[in-house]
Structures are given as structure tokens and as C-alpha cells.
Amino acid sequence: MLVQHKEACGSILTFLVRLFDLDLLKKVPHEAAGYLSDTVGPRLGVLLRMTLAGVVGALPPAREEPLSDVLFATLQVCRFCVYFLL
């Protein structure tokens, strides 16, 4: 997730925000949402730590806004995964 090239980093962050879009997750078949939850769920802790590291200084300030979008989306998908698993 922490990529040196600004455009590549932006593309990856945009992909994550779209992947974790709750409105989209609610529209996909239940099996697809389950697959995402099973695949991404165990890795959310690492993703959150990397995102927080970027926000607190591992990346230049110009990249903080996209990181905040990813952080928000990741927290939402954490909540979704917990809800989905119950």
C-alpha cells in the first residue's frame, strides 16, 4: 500500500476505497460479500496499521487526504465484516 510513486499510490488507494464501498457491498450477491469478508477480514489489522503509519508521517502530507479516505473505508468494512460474520 505504501508506494513511492504518487500516481501508483493514488491508484491503489482509490482501488481500496472502491473495494470497501459499503453501498457497493450491499448490492453484490451475498456470496461475493462473504468472499470479500473471508479474504480481506484477516488482513484488516495490517491494512489499518499501514494506513495509520502513513497518516502519522510515513508519507508526505500531500498524500494524507487519500489515506484518510482509505482509513474511513477500512473502518467501515471492519464493521461490515463483523456484521457479516454474526
27-56 pLDDT per residue, tens: 888 787 778 778 877 888 888 888 888 778
Global pTM value: 0.68
CB 53 within 8 A of CB 45: no
Residue 60, φ and ψ in degrees, nearest 5? -60, 155
Which residues fall within 8 angstroms of residue 66, CB to CB, at 6 or more apart? 9, 10, 13, 14, 17
Residue pointed to by grid coordinates 503509519 = 53
Question: How is residue 12 written as a grid cell?
Answer: 491503489
